[in-house]
Amino acid sequence: MARIASMWCDITGYLDAISIVLGAWIPAYHRLKGYTSKLVAIAVFSLFLAVFVPLIVDYLLATTNLIAAAIVALIGMAAVSVAGLWAFFLPMRIALKRDREHARPVIIVNLLIFIPFSWHLALLWATAPEREQGFTGPTSTHGPAINTDFRLISSSTKIPCISPQENLRRCFESLTQSRKPNG
């Protein structure tokens, strides 16, 4: 039993570490540093367990301490399993915490598509930035805009979209008005 639990910890720990490190790139790409650091910590923890639990179990089995070997192996197996499940259900927690409108589909994808590396798809979906609603054209909400006469206006002000012909007409009008003598 100790050997089986030790092998479970070994194989699952390595697979968890690889999967979680690959998954850590997704929140890093979306600049969610808190989730990235948690995933990296879980990956390091899983890798640590995958390396050291089998070594400790082998040492305990060599010294004929079977009960201690079984206990260490079972604790390691449980810890690696909990770490893997924590990472697997992270997309669901992110979607619910961010109050996403598509939290329900993320949960369904996370729970029903129970295949290796499927949680990466759910994590990508849960961490994706929201799309802006009601985009009406050339106005920008990503920073200040500059008016045609180079005055800074607020980013919420809508800039009128005029045709190139109208813009050219206005330029000619302003030039002709500036050349008229005041009098």
Note whether 97 and 69 are same-domain residues: yes
Same-domain status, 27 and 56:
yes
- Looking at the fold, whether 165 and 99 belong to one and the same domain comes out as no
Residue 132 lies in a domain: no
Tell me which residue range forms the domain holding 53: 2-127
In terms of C-beta density within 10 A (0-12 exposed, 13-18 middle, 19 or more buried), how is residue 6 classed?
buried
Task: Give the pLDDT confidence score for residue 179 in this predicted structure.
Answer: 66
CA angle centred on 147, ends 145 and 150, rounded to 5°: 105
- Does 170 fall in a domain? yes
Residue 151 lies in a domain: yes
135 assigned to some structural domain: no
Task: Give me the amino acid identity at 114.
Answer: F
Predicted pLDDT at 147: 45
Do 149 and 122 share a structural domain?
A: no
Predicted pLDDT at 151: 46
What total number of domains does the chain contain? Answer: 2
Specify the pLDDT at position 183: 52
Q: Could you say which residues of the chain have pLDDT below 70?
A: 100, 113-117, 131-161, 178-183
In the prediction, which pLDDT does 114 show?
64
Both 92 and 150 in a single domain?
no
Say yes or no: 21 and 93 in one domain: yes
Is there a single domain that holds both residue 109 and residue 149? no
Residue 138 located in a structural domain:
no
Note the pLDDT of residue 161.
64
User: Same structural domain for residues 100 and 26?
Assistant: yes
Rounded Cα–Cα distance for residues 168 and 164 (Å)? 6
Same domain, 78 and 163: no
Can you give the pLDDT at residue 181?
65
Same domain membership, residue 122 and residue 85: yes
Q: Are 3 and 33 in contact (CB under 8 A)?
A: no
Residue 9 lies in a domain: yes
**Inside any domain, residue 133:** no
